[in-house]
Each structure stands twice: as C-alpha cells, then as structure tokens.
C-alpha cells in the first residue's frame, strides 16, 4: 500500500509520541501479569480506551517471499473446501497428508519434513505450520482433548477442518514461507513454516465491481467387488485344511456362528450392501463479491457457500462464508483498515462402527458383524437414524490496523482476533448397543488475541537504503472445552439432557434422564501467553547487495520460570547477479542468489511443563484413559500415565540455514528456483519410559534433536510459445527431496523404544520397526536347533506353519532385538508436474502429483489374515465394518501361516505387510473457455470464464491396497477410512 503513504506526510510528533507512550504504559503496567494471566478487557479499558476498536494487521517487510507457483485462479478449479487440499503439490517442500476422503475432516501439512517423531494424532499438531490470513496468525485446534480418549481415532467434538473457513474465491495469493528470511519475523509460532494467505482487495478506481463464481458437480461412486460369507468361508477353509483336523485346531477353537450355516441368506445370500453404502455425492459452490470505492475509502463484501460430498454413508460437508473489508484514509497521514471474516461449518459424519465404539469407550458383542445383505444393512441404518449426530463450528477472524506516517517514519498498531467454537450433540438408540443408549454433549472454543506495535524508519541515501524497524507483540491464546457423556438413559426419547437445565432444581447435578453413576463430565482449559520484542535492520546497496539482521526476545508462559525467555537472532543476505555481471545481457530477466540463517524458539503446545512437577484432576482405571472423579468427588493425583515433569527444562529451538538462487529468463517465460537447507530442531521434549518404580509410565525429558536436510527445485517455461499460431504450451515442475535424522536423545541415550517404534540416534524418526520375513517352516524339523534348544519367539518354539523371521543377532531366538528399522512413512520426494495448453480462448490444464520414497504398513491385510485372533476379540482392530464384505488387496502375495500359532504369525509389525507407498496421480484435468470476447458488449468490459474439471482421475502405484494416500499419521493403512473420491465439476467465473 505504498501508494497510500506519500513521502510528504506531515503528522504531528505528539500523535506518534502518544501511540508509543500508550504501548509502553500498557506493558509496563501489566508486565508481571502478561505471561501468567489471560487478557482482560479491563486491562485495555484502563489504559487504551481509544484503541479497543483498533485491531491491526501484521504487515512485515520481507526480504524475499516464495509464492505458490500456480495462479490461485487455477487452484480454485478443484472445488475443494480446505486450504491443505488446495495446496497439495503446489509448492516445493510442502507435504500434505490427506488420511481420508471423508469431506471436511482434518488434513495435515508439513513444511520441510517433520521436526519431531509422531506417535499419536496429538503429536501431529506439534509439526504443523502457522497459517496467516490477511495478517492474522490463525490459531489451530488444540489437541489436549485427546488426553481423555481411550482410542487415538476421532477427536471428541466436531473435528471439522478449521482451515476450510476461507473462501478460495476471495484469495488473491498464497505464499509458502520456509526459510529464516521470511518466517523469523512471525516468531516462535512460525517455527514450522508459514502459509501466508492474502485476500483480494478493492480497487481504488471509483468503480463498483461485482464478481460471481460458481460450480456444480459430483463425487463419483467407486466401483467395488463385494463378497459374502461363502467367499470368506473359502478363504478361511484353506487354513483349516492345512492346520486342523475335523475342522478344529483345539478345544477352544469354534468356527464363527455367522459363517457356520451356509444356508443363512443374511451372510451367504446376495452381497448387495454397497447399493446402500456407496453413493454419488453432490458438490456445489457459489461466491458473490461486491466491491467499490475510491482512493480515500473503499470496501469489499462477499458471501459464499460450498458443499463437498463424500462417496459413502451420505457424508457431506457444508460451509457458509461472509467477509467484509474496509479501507479508509481520512487524512493524508492516517490510514485505517479492518477485515472481518466469518464462517459456519457443518459436517455429516461417517457411521463407522469403529469410530462410534471408540468414542463411546464401549465395545459390545462383536461376534456377529453387519451382514452383507442390503435389507439387513438398511435395517441397521434405520436404527442408526433414530439418533442424531449434529456437528458444527463457528469461526470468526477480525483485525483492525491504524497506520500513521510522516516523512520516512511509520508507526503501525494492530490488534487481531481469531475465535472458533465447536458443538457436537450426539445420541445413539439403545437398539444399537445391547439395550444401552448413549448421549454426549460437547462445547469447546479456542481464541487468540494479538496486540502489536511496529515502528519503522526508511533512510534513503545516494546509492543505498537502510530500513529499520522495532516492535513488540503480545499474544493471548485460550482453549477450553466442556464435555459430558452418559449411558442408559431412562428411555430413548430423552436424548440431550445430561445436566438439569434449571440450576434452582435440586437435581442440577443429579439429572433424572441418566443415572448419576453413568454420567461422566469433563472440562479442561489451557492458556498460553507470549510476549515478543524484536528489532530488524535491512540494508540495500546499489540494488545489488542486501542484508537483513533480526533480533528477537520472546517470553512464553508455557516455558518454565527459570527458562521463560529466549533470545534468537537471524540474518539474511542477497546478491543480484544480473545487476552485478549481466546488466547488458538480455537473456536474463533476473538472476539472484540469497542465503539466510538463524534461530527461532519452538513453543511447547501444552502447559504441562510450565511449573515442573504437578498434579492433575484425573483418575485412571483399566479400559479407560481417565475419569474425572472418584464416586462423584474430584481428586488430584500425580500424572502417572502422562509422565513425570522435572525442573530446569529449557526452551526448544530450531536452527536453520538456507541458500538458494532465482533465475528468470527473458524468453519463453522460463524460470528456475533452487534451494538447499538444513534445519536442526533442538532441546525438544520427548516422553520416554521411566520411573516405573515410582508408579510412572513415562518421563518428559528435554534433549531430543532432529535434523532435516533437503533440496527444493522448481523450474518451467513455455515449451511452445507460438503466439502467431495462437497456441502456447507452458510446463512447470516442482520437486523437493527431504531427509530427517535423529541426532540426539535426552540424557545422552543412543536409542529408546516407545510404543511400537524405536528411536535411534542416526536413524530417521518416521521409520518402521519390523521383523524381516524369509519364508515359512513347512515342517517341525526345519526349525533350527542349537545345543538342544529349538529356535523360538520370546520363548515360544517355532513349529510347522510359522513364519521364518530373520535372526539378526544369531542367538537362535526371535525377540525385539531382531526387529529392523526399515522404511519410512514421510515421503523422501514430493512434487507435481503442471502442463497448461492455450489455444485462442481455450485452455487445457493437466496436473500430476507424486510422492516417492515412502512405505505403508498394510494393517488392513494383517487384520484380514489374523482372523483367528481378531474373531470375538474386544479391541477396535477386531471391529468389522460393512466394508469387511469388500474384496481388497492381493491375497495371493501372502503365505499361509498358521493363524492359530501363539507366535502371532500375522502380527502387523513385520515387513510382510510393509509395502511401497510411492505413487503418481493425475490430480486434475480442466478445460476452460474465455467468453469475454464473445460477450464483451453485454459484459460492459467484464470477464466471463467457463470450465469443466475432473479431479483425482487415476493413480499409478505398486501399492496393493485401495489408495496409497489413505494412511494415518503413523503410516498405517487400517482400511477404515474412505478413499479420496473422483470428482467432476462444471463452473463459471464472472467479473464486471
């Protein structure tokens, strides 16, 4: 907005001094409280009553930014609802994980690899980048509610993707910021990189503009092969023929009742359940935008709605958007800006049995799965629909900015707000759960308030320029939820009231709808305050050489009192080779070399280490993670399951260095961008097994270091630039290679085993830990024997039909010591290849997306072959969805081990189920036509563009499962999630 701040501004010194004094007074008065208490409006009202309505935008001057290569207009053709879906493959170094095709669910983003190992869903959040919308650092959903869940599957609450609140048609640009030259100014919240989104602004030409963008399409139902009890019986019969006599392996072995009667039409009849389960889904979207004004004032207002539908169980996701933006310049030296963005998100969730049972913390009798018969499945759906599952989220972001300037001096003050709240009301009918009905209510919210001031001075000299700025940022984050669930209500008609709504009623804490002893209530709150001071100087000499030095001092309330503050510097350098050596060479439009290095703090997401050893209001018992009280009375206990917390835990921080070059040629729109980087994340906290003698399972220890190194390359240009023939072919490729390595463990450890993973210094942190398969023992005599002792698995002697697992340490015994660290679930190489063809007013766009150098553990096939252990077992891996009656995978590639063997022959942690997960997808093909020339007079100089688009058309992969993208955060394909659908759209964009 430089054109709005002429260098001839004259503002009185008292006005600027007042703004500075106001900021100093606010912090000085409350510096003792600012790190330890949430923000109170009274604090602001006491000190700055005139600034309550002045909430401002962060608008930092970066030395260099990297934009998403593809124009945002092209990304909008996908029809997707979420920002991660839009950005998949669009920027080198940005990896998007989409673990399910169910619309509206969370997706995960990783910039330049993962900085810490992932053991559960809540660890994923520690690796997410910061998303900044119009200067507002958006708050991500806090994962602390995972702590009260028995299973790491669905998060309680609506679990909507909060990054779907942005209407893509309002976006002007998206930038992926990765190096210290760009992310350091955002502070510790940007340690994992930044996704910077800038919305479209109003034009200042005194014209009123109207824009309408809309599409309609469908998510296409997949073609599947269904099976019934007869197929499953033939699959199992081969194992019975090999390893049993008289159809029974031992006295306890009983053939499943649902498969024992071949005349039972429910299981052996037609397998037509897919007609009720799968569906074609309706997708649509419309956005209308009105803008106008002039140089002194302008506005923009937009409304929009969008629906993405799934291809199963009538799942869908709807969102409603509204945005308002106003810019005012009442005086030459005064500029005011405000933006408000609001969204409502609604999601129809899946009806998975596993997700339902996991959330209920209740596993019923699993001996009889859903039948593959359509009529039987429809009957189940009718009972399910007697209940309800209402999910919605409300999101509001807003900022106000007040800028004043005189001469080369500028002062910016801003305040930003991000608020989101989620609701989920749930009821399941008693017929679904052995005559036990279930109800739950969830309400939670997250809010972020940021107040900052930045003063800058731009000193221009003959051949150089010095830009100085200093600022302070105050940030308050608050997360809270209330959650209650109950079993065995008095009837199936009272579905909501877990607490008596009338506080004057004596039953307020003992509602009559549900028994008190079967009603569980949880509430939790966590807050975080961050105070930051920074100063930066940027020097430019002759427009050839540039240097920038940034110094930060950050204090976090989630850090321990002895280590609450952290000082971090960063530096960025630039050299314009074009102006230095190639001034007269017309072949190069630009040629620049850049480098940056620095340190940035890493925030601890949780407040559990901020005060050292602590107590918690939770009591655990077998089968449930925690209960909030003992017989209705709250209790304080040590966090035995969460882990011991000690003293003197330092800040974690990231050290990063980056070198790169940018070349733009004058001909054929050719370009090349190359980056090489090293990123060390140090002093991170790791939960390791410890202090069992004191009753603890884990200890939270600092000292884990993870290094990411990589290279990113983007290049492209016009393959054919035949303007005289009205035909052009532009092609561009972006590719990134990343490798992570564990460089240190707490306490100087060399390795540690956590859950079913091993971490070892010098190895990757996303590696699998598996046994190596060499075949099968055909007879008992093949089992090796040393000194009269046969080879065994943890003391269990191998027999005929057991797997031959490699004895890595040659001790004639298979144990965890023989497991190999093999493979990785984060791809080593990611990228995309975009081709755009233009002929007159036609354009054809083709986008290929690929992940290379990754493995997937096929948990679904492990469960299928491990049918003996899974039958009637009381765990979530034993739950059979209706999709159990679907032929998936290649059964012929797996040996026929003895499924009754106590060595657990088909356990998933072996390389038998570890597969190549690399793939290439034809992500999009779109055909468009610009009607503006044909309709020029009718449009009054406007533009009208129509298009057809097809997405996710096919996948090239050696993976034997359904879709190599469908893997959870640990790299496991469990078989429960929906595939990413194939979609077809038609739409138009109208501007006039």
- 3-state secondary structure labels for all residues of 820-831: EEECCCCCCEEE
Whole-number pLDDT of residue 723: 61
Whole-number pLDDT of residue 939: 66
In terms of Cα–Cα distance, which of 538, 661, 657 is closest to 60?
Answer: 538
Decide if pLDDT at 493 tops 90.
Answer: no
Last residue of a domain, one of 780, 795, 818: 818
Q: Say which residue, 327 or 498, is predicted with more confidence.
A: 327
Whole-number pLDDT of residue 514: 82
- Asked if the structure places residue 327 within a domain, the reply is yes
Whole-number Cα distances in Å, 808 to 770, 811, 815, 969: 12, 8, 10, 28
Do 780 and 659 share a domain, yes or no? Answer: no
Residue for token pair 């220890």: 701
Question: DSSP character for 225?
Answer: -
Question: What confidence tier does 624 reach under pLDDT thresholds 50, 70, 90?
Answer: low
Tell me what the mean pLDDT of segment 702-710 comes to: 97
Do 560 and 641 share a domain, yes or no? Answer: no
Last residue of a domain, one of 786, 818, 850: 818
pTM: 0.90
Question: What confidence tier does 516 reach under pLDDT thresholds 50, 70, 90?
Answer: confident
What is the per-residue pLDDT across 736-792, written as a single tens digit (0 to 9) for each? 999 999 999 999 999 999 988 999 999 999 999 999 999 999 999 999 999 999 999
Whole-number pLDDT of residue 146: 86
Do 42 and 180 share a domain, yes or no? Answer: yes
**37: CATH:** 2.40.170
Do 381 and 437 share a domain, yes or no? Answer: yes
Do 662 and 786 share a domain, yes or no? Answer: no
What is the per-residue pLDDT across 117-165, written as a single tens digit (0 to 9) for each? 999 988 999 999 999 999 999 998 888 888 888 888 888 999 999 999 9
What is the rounded distance in angstroms from the CA atom of residue 602 to the CA atom of residue 942?
A: 48
Residue for token pair 């502070």: 187
Do 536 and 635 share a domain, yes or no? Answer: no
Q: Across all residues in the chain, what is the average pLDDT?
A: 87
Do 542 and 586 share a domain, yes or no? Answer: yes
CB-CB neighbours of 873 under 10 Å: 14
Do 360 and 418 share a domain, yes or no? Answer: yes
In terms of Cα–Cα distance, which of 923, 799, 884 is closest to 372?
Answer: 884
Do 487 and 543 share a domain, yes or no? Answer: yes
Q: Which two tokens mark 501?
A: 């709504």
Question: What confidence tier does 302 reach under pLDDT thresholds 50, 70, 90?
Answer: very high
- Asked if the structure places residue 44 within a domain, the reply is yes
Residue 363: CB partners within 8 Å, gap ≥ 6? 357, 874, 875, 876, 879
Question: What confidence tier does 807 reach under pLDDT thresholds 50, 70, 90?
Answer: very high
- Asked if the structure places residue 398 within a domain, the reply is yes
What is the rounded distance in angstroms from the CA atom of residue 979 to the CA atom of residue 922?
A: 15
- Asked if the structure places residue 992 within a domain, the reply is no
- Asked if the structure places residue 589 within a domain, the reply is yes
CB-CB neighbours of 244 under 10 Å: 15
- Asked if the structure places residue 356 within a domain, the reply is yes
- Asked if the structure places residue 658 within a domain, the reply is yes
Residue 53: CB partners within 8 Å, gap ≥ 6? 400
At 730, give phi and psi (nearest 5°): -110, 135
Tell me what the mean pLDDT of segment 855-866 comes to: 96
Between 37-41, 229-233, 859-863, the lowest mean confidence (pLDDT) is in 37-41
Distance from CA of residue 878 to its chain's centroid? 27
Q: Could you tell me if 916 and 853 are in contact, meaning their C-beta atoms sit under 8 angstroms apart?
A: no
In terms of Cα–Cα distance, which of 856, 858, 920, 855 is closest to 891?
Answer: 858
What is the rounded distance in angstroms from the CA atom of residue 764 to the CA atom of residue 117?
A: 9
In terms of Cα–Cα distance, which of 569, 412, 570, 446 is closest to 137?
Answer: 446
Residue 49: CB partners within 8 Å, gap ≥ 6? none
Whole-number pLDDT of residue 640: 81
In terms of Cα–Cα distance, which of 346, 363, 347 is closest to 438?
Answer: 363
Decide if pLDDT at 46 tops 70.
Answer: no
Distance from CA of residue 945 to its chain's centroid? 33
Do 511 and 628 share a domain, yes or no? Answer: no
Residue 622 domain boundaries: 613-646
Run of H or E including 483: strand 464-487
Do 508 and 571 share a domain, yes or no? Answer: yes
Between 47-61, 235-249, 858-872, the lowest mean confidence (pLDDT) is in 47-61
First-to-last alpha carbon distance for the chain, in angstroms, is: 24
Question: What confidence tier does 622 reach under pLDDT thresholds 50, 70, 90?
Answer: low
Percent of the chain with pLDDT over 90: 70
Q: Which two tokens mark 295?
A: 């140089």
Whole-number pLDDT of residue 248: 76
Total number of domains constituting the chain: 3
- Asked if the structure places residue 383 within a domain, the reply is yes
Q: Could you tell me if 174 and 193 are in contact, meaning their C-beta atoms sit under 8 angstroms apart?
A: no
Do 170 and 34 share a domain, yes or no? Answer: yes
What is the rounded distance in angstroms from the CA atom of residue 836 to the CA atom of residue 834?
A: 7
Helix (H, G, I), strand (E, B) or coil at 218: strand
Decide if pLDDT at 49 tops 70.
Answer: no
Decide if pLDDT at 56 tops 70.
Answer: no
Whole-number pLDDT of residue 68: 53
Whole-number pLDDT of residue 11: 32
Last residue of a domain, one of 755, 784, 818: 818
């Amino acid at each position: 907005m430089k054109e709005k701040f002429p260098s001839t501004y004259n503002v009185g010194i008292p006005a600027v001094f007042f703004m500075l004094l106001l900021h100093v007074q606010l912090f000085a008065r409350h510096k003792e409280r600012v790190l330890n208490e949430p923000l109170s409006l009274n604090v602001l009202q006491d000190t700055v009553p005139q600034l309550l309505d002045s909430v401002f935008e962060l608008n930092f001057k970066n030395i260099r930014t990297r934009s998403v290569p593809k124009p945002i207009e092209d990304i909008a053709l996908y029809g997707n609802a979420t920002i991660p879906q839009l950005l998949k493959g669009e920027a080198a170094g940005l990896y998007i994980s989409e673990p399910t095709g169910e619309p509206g669910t969370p997706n995960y983003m990783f910039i330049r690899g993962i900085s810490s190992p992932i053991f559960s869903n809540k660890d994923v959040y520690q690796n997410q980048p910061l998303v900044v919308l119009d200067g507002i650092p958006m708050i991500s959903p806090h994962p602390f509610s995972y702590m009260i869940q028995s299973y790491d599957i669905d998060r309680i609450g609506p679990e909507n993707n909060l990054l779907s609140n942005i209407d893509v048609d309002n976006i002007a640009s998206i930038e992926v910021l990765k190096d210290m030259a760009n992310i350091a100014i955002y502070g510790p919240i940007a340690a994992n990189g930044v996704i910077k989104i800038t919305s479209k602004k109003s034009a200042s030409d005194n014209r009123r503009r109207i824009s309408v963008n809309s599409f309609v399409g469908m998510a296409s139902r997949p073609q599947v092969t269904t099976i019934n009890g007869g197929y499953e019986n033939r699959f199992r019969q081969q194992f019975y023929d090999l390893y049993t006599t008289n159809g029974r392996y031992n006295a306890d072995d009983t053939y499943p009742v649902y498969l024992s009667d071949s005349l039972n039409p429910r299981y052996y009849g037609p397998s037509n359940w897919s007609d009720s389960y799968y569906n074609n889904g309706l997708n649509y979207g419309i956005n209308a935008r009105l803008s106008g004004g002039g140089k002194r004032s302008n506005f923009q207002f937009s409304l929009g709605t969008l629906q993405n539908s799934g291809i199963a169980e009538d799942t869908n996701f709807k969102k409603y958007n509204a945005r308002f933006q106003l810019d005012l310049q009442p005086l030459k030296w005064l500029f005011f800006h405000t933006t408000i963005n609001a969204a409502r998100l609604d999601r129809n969730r899946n009806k998975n049995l596993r997700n339902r049972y996991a959330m209920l913390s209740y596993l019923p009798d699993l001996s009889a799965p859903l039948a593959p018969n359509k009529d039987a499945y429809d009957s189940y759906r009718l009972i399910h629909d007697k209940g309800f599952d209402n999910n919605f989220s409300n999101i509001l972001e807003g900022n106000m900015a007040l800028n004043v300037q005189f001469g080369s001096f500028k002062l910016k003050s801003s305040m930003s707000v991000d608020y989101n709240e989620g609701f989920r009301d749930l009821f399941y009918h008693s017929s679904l759960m052995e005559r036990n009905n279930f109800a739950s209510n969830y309400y939670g919210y997250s809010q972020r308030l940021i107040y900052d001031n930045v003063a800058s001075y731009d000193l221009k000299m003959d051949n150089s320029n010095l830009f100085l700025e200093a600022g302070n940022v105050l940030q308050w984050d608050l997360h809270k939820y209330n959650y209650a669930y109950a079993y065995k209500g008095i009837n199936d008609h009272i579905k909501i009231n877990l607490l008596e709504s009338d506080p004057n009623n004596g039953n307020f804490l003992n509602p009559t709808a549900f028994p008190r002893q079967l009603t569980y209530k949880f509430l939790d709150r966590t807050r975080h305050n961050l105070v930051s001071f920074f100063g930066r100087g940027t020097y430019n000499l002759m427009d050839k050489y540039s240097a920038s030095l940034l110094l930060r001092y950050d204090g976090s309330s989630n850090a321990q009192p002895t280590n609450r503050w952290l000082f971090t510097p960063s530096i960025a350098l630039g050299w314009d080779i074009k102006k230095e050596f190639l001034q007269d060479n017309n072949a190069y439009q630009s040629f620049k070399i850049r480098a940056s290095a620095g340190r940035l703090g890493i925030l601890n997401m949780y407040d559990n280490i901020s005060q050292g050893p602590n107590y918690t209001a939770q009591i655990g018992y077998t089968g449930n993670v925690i209960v909030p009280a003992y017989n209705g009375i709250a209790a304080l206990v040590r966090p035995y399951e969460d882990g011991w917390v000690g003293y003197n835990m330092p800040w974690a921080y990231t050290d990063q260095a980056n070198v790169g070059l940018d070349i733009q040629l004058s001909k054929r729109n050719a370009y090349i961008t190359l980056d090489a980087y090293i990123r060390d994340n140090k002093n991170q906290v790791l939960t390791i097994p410890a202090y069992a003698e004191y009753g603890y399972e884990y200890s939270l220890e600092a000292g884990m270091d993870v290094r990411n190194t990589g290279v990113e390359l983007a290049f492209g240009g016009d393959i054919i630039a035949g303007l005289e023939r009205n035909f052009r072919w532009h092609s561009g490729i972006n590719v990134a290679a990343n490798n992570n390595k564990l460089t240190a463990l707490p306490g100087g450890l060399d390795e540690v085993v956590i859950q079913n993973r091993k971490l070892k210094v010098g190895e990757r942190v996303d590696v699998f830990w598996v046994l190596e398969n060499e075949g099968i023992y055909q007879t008992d005599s093949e089992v090796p024997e040393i000194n009269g002792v046969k080879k065994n698995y943890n003391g269990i002697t191998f027999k005929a039909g057991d797997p031959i697992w490699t004895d890595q340490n040659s001790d004639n015994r298979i144990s965890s010591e023989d497991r190999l660290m093999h493979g990785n679930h984060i791809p080593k190489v990611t990228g995309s290849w975009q081709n755009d063809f233009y002929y007159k007013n036609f354009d054809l766009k083709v986008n290929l997306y690929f992940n290379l150098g990754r493995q997937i553990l096929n948990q679904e096939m492990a469960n299928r072959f491990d049918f003996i252990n899974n039958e009637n077992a009381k765990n979530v891996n034993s739950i059979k969805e209706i999709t159990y009656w679907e032929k998936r995978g290649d059964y012929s590639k797996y040996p026929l081990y003895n499924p009754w063997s106590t060595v657990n022959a088909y356990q998933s942690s072996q390389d038998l189920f570890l597969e190549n997960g690399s793939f290439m997808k034809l992500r999009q093909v779109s055909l468009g036509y610009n009607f503006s020339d044909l309709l020029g007079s009718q449009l009054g100089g406007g533009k009208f563009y129509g298009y057809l688009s097809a997405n996710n058309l096919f996948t090239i992969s050696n993976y034997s499962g359904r879709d190599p993208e469908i893997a959870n955060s640990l790299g496991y394909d469990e078989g429960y999630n929906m595939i990413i659908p194939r979609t077809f759209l038609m739409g138009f964009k109208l501007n006039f």
